[in-house]
Amino acid sequence: MGTESLKLWILLVFTQLTASLVADHLSYARLESLKFILSHYRWEQEGIRYQHIFHIKLWKDLVPELGNHFDKNHLKEKNPAYLMQFILESVRAETCHLLSLLFALPLLRQAPLWVIIYIVLINIPCIIIQRYNRPRLEKLMQQMLKKQNGKISTQELPVPIYGKTT
């Protein structure tokens, strides 16, 4: 690996770590506001479009899970507060990967093809998984809240796993 490649690799790792640190320190209140910005669009058909286009069910379980607090295959609890926390953590994950892409953009001008492929493969599938799963979790949470005639706010949630409460 040449000096330029090594510099590029170090910068790439730095951008990814910075994105992770920023996302990890977002409060649930901030994630709630980002949830509105990152809400699903009509064309996504509540995540169904990702199955039609990318056949997500075939590969999503192959993508490693770095957070161990929420199992992407099984819900540990079935209550609105747990689902809200899960949803906000999915917003955190999507935000992290979007920031990773954003922070890496300046590197793309001088990057060889392998860097571009790496940036895309490490981030885009994770964003797609979050955008596929979150509408289904939101729908389930709304059904539970409807049954309970209730509402939930970020103040009712436990302290964020990584970040602060405010």
Per-residue pLDDT of the chain (166 residues; tens, 9 = 90+): 678 888 888 988 999 999 999 999 999 999 999 988 888 888 888 888 999 999 999 999 888 877 656 766 677 887 888 889 999 999 999 999 999 999 998 888 878 888 889 899 999 999 999 999 999 988 888 888 888 776 665 555 555 544 444 4
Burial of 35 (0-12, 13-18, 19+ CB in 10 A): buried
Q: What is the dihedral of CA 10, 99, 60, 119, to 10 degrees?
A: -40
